């Protein structure tokens, strides 16, 4: 099968030759005809592994996206990462209209998965579920953007002033090489729509996402022979385990605080008492200032040691900011909800963060316009090793919502 992201879409649209302002039924019908091409887009994207540190895979998927933007008549630009250590490049393209509104559509092509994981999650459709590696986070977002652009062109909608598409390759590692460009997009546009996914129980758009920090716990002990002289050593692994266990209760979901230890390493060989151990925790909060109290608590806890003569240190590094609701964001979300109701589709508007952190927060940092999140597909299982899927039934409503939002948005 040829790997064209929008394979079949343009031919499916050739029979549509509409006036400048097509009605709701016309847009809905074309969105329905675009479901199958969107699934082909998803398959093409899923079949390329593109982990955040897999530069070859990221280049391959970037080339795929570039080629299909060109097929849509756009001129994509490759923007190198600005990070000190190499991360994936960005793809940006612009589409001019005859109106005044400036709208940015953002998604990411990188994933949390390691090379070879695709064998566990190949693309497949089972009833209303389309499964695949990173299909929900965030290859569905890319698919919705590309197929929406094709719909806009088929419907001859040009009521906007300018649409900017930006797809980056380092979101899952905090967007170190793309955050500045995303902040700039927030400053320059009246509306930024981010295409992370929605939930499967209730469809929604989001106005709030979490702040993210990383805690690194380092324990230094003393090495010794684990068979003949273990008592001479100071086991850094034991001390690390003690510290993790005594800091396992620091989450407070009612206040949006979540702390989970996710990585650990210790020792070099099996027959040596480990002299060093390092553990990492993922920390989420509703706002950056919430990290202050948990950091203070963690520093107090590490004073309680299990093994004498070990050194325990902790560093909490604040990363991605939170996205918080604004009046302009609420107005855009209400408009999205009204648009969904035009086709009998119900969506909720989430104003409280649920633990996810996204690039929408960077877009909002200096924005004077609206920023809205979760315009991707309904899905489940992001960051799992064998259970990630999107709902096929959400494709038509999401294409309709995005197309209508672009058609009708006024700053």
CB-based contact 236:220 (threshold 8 Å): yes
pLDDT at residue 21, as a whole number = 82
User: What is the spatial distance between Cα 155 and Cα 152, in angstroms, rounded to a whole number?
Assistant: 5
Identify the H or E element spanning 188. Answer: helix 179-188
CB-based contact 42:147 (threshold 8 Å): no
Q: Which of 49, 171, 190, 276 is labelled catalytic?
A: 171
How large is the average pLDDT for residues 287-302?
95
Fold of the domain spanning 211-318: Alpha-Beta Plaits (3.30.70)
Region 9-209+323-408: CATH code: 3.40.630.10
Structure-token match 């200032």, residue found: 289
User: What is the spatial distance between Cα 102 and Cα 166, in angstroms, rounded to a whole number?
Assistant: 14
Active site residue 276: no
Q: Which of 54, 66, 68, 110 is labelled catalytic?
A: 110
pLDDT at residue 404, as a whole number = 98
User: What is the spatial distance between Cα 100 and Cα 103, in angstroms, rounded to a whole number?
Assistant: 10
Per-residue pLDDT of 241-273, as tens digits, reads 999 999 999 999 888 999 999 999 999 999 999
Per-residue pLDDT of 184-221, as tens digits, reads 999 999 999 999 999 999 999 999 999 999 999 999 99
CB-based contact 31:400 (threshold 8 Å): yes
Confidence check: pLDDT of 83 > 70: yes
Mean pLDDT estimate for the chain: 94
Per-residue pLDDT of 165-176, as tens digits, reads 999 999 999 999
pLDDT at residue 13, as a whole number = 46
The secondary structure of residue 114, as a DSSP letter, is P
User: What is the spatial distance between Cα 39 and Cα 216, in angstroms, rounded to a whole number?
Assistant: 41
pLDDT band, very low/low/confident/very high, at 180 (cuts 50, 70, 90): very high
User: What is the spatial distance between Cα 375 and Cα 329, in angstroms, rounded to a whole number?
Assistant: 13
Q: For residue 92, what are the contacts with CB-CB under 8 A and spacing of at least 6?
A: 76, 77, 79, 164, 165, 166, 167, 181
Per-residue pLDDT of 317-364, as tens digits, reads 999 999 999 999 999 999 999 999 999 999 999 999 988 999 999 999
Backbone angles phi, psi at 125, to 5 degrees: -115, 125
pLDDT band, very low/low/confident/very high, at 17 (cuts 50, 70, 90): very low
pTM metric for this prediction: 0.89
Backbone angles phi, psi at 398, to 5 degrees: -70, -40
pLDDT band, very low/low/confident/very high, at 20 (cuts 50, 70, 90): low
Per-residue pLDDT of 114-157, as tens digits, reads 999 999 999 999 999 999 999 999 999 999 999 999 999 999 99
User: What is the spatial distance between Cα 184 and Cα 366, in angstroms, rounded to a whole number?
Assistant: 8
Helices (H), 248-386: 290-301, 327-341, 360-364
Domain with CATH 3.30.70.360 in the chain: 211-318
Confidence check: pLDDT of 9 > 90: no
Active site residue 47: no
Domain with CATH 3.40.630.10 in the chain: 9-209+323-408
Within 286-375, strands assigned E span 311-318, 348-350, 370-372
As a whole-number percent, the residues of the chain with pLDDT over 70 amount to 95
pLDDT at residue 2, as a whole number = 43
């Amino acid at each position: 099968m040829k790997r064209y992201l929008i394979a079949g879409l343009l031919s499916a649209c050739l029979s549509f030759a509409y006036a400048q302002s097509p009605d709701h039924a016309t847009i809905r019908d074309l969105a329905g005809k675009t479901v199958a091409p969107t699934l082909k887009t998803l398959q093409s994207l899923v079949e390329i592994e593109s982990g955040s540190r897999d530069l070859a895979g990221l280049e391959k998927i970037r080339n795929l996206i570039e080629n299909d933007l060109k097929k849509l008549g756009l001129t994509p630009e490759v923007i190198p990462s600005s990070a000190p250590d190499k991360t994936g490049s960005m793809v940006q393209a612009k589409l001019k209209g005859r109106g005044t509104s400036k709208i940015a559509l953002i998604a990411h092509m990188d994933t949390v998965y390691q090379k070879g994981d695709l064998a566990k999650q190949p693309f497949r459709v089972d009833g209303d579920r389309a499964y695949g590696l990173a299909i929900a986070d965030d290859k569905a977002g890319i698919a919705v953007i590309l197929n929406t652009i094709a719909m806009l062109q088929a419907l001859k909608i040009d009521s906007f002033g300018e649409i900017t598409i930006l797809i980056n390759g380092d979101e899952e590692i905090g967007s170190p090489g793309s955050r500045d460009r995303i902040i700039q997009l927030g400053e320059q546009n009246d509306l930024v729509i981010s295409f992370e996914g929605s939930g499967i129980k209730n469809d929604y758009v989001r106005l709030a996402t979490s702040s993210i920090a990383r805690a690194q716990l380092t324990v230094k002990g003393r090495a010794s022979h684990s068979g003949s002289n273990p008592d001479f050593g100071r086991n850094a692994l034991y001390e690390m385990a003690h510290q993790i266990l005594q800091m396992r209760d620091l989450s407070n979901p009612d206040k949006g605080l979540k702390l989970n230890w996710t990585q650990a390493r210790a020792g070099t060989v099996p027959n040596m008492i480990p002299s060093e151990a390092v553990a990492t925790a993922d920390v989420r909060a509703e706002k950056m200032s919430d990290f202050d109290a948990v950091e203070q608590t963690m520093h107090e806890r590490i004073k309680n040691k299990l093994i004498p003569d070990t050194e325990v240190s902790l560093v909490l590094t604040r990363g991605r900011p939170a996205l918080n609701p604004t009046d302009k964001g609420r107005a855009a979300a209400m408009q999205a909800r009204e648009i969904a109701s035009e086709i009998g589709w119900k969506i909720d508007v989430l104003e409280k963060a649920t633990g996810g952190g996204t690039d929408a927060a960077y877009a909002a940092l200096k924005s004077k316009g609206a920023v809205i999140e979760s315009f991707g597909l309904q899905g489940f299982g992001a960051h799992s090793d064998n259970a990630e899927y999107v709902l096929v039934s959400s494709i038509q409503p999401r294409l309709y919502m995005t197309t209508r939002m672009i058609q009708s948005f006024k700053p």
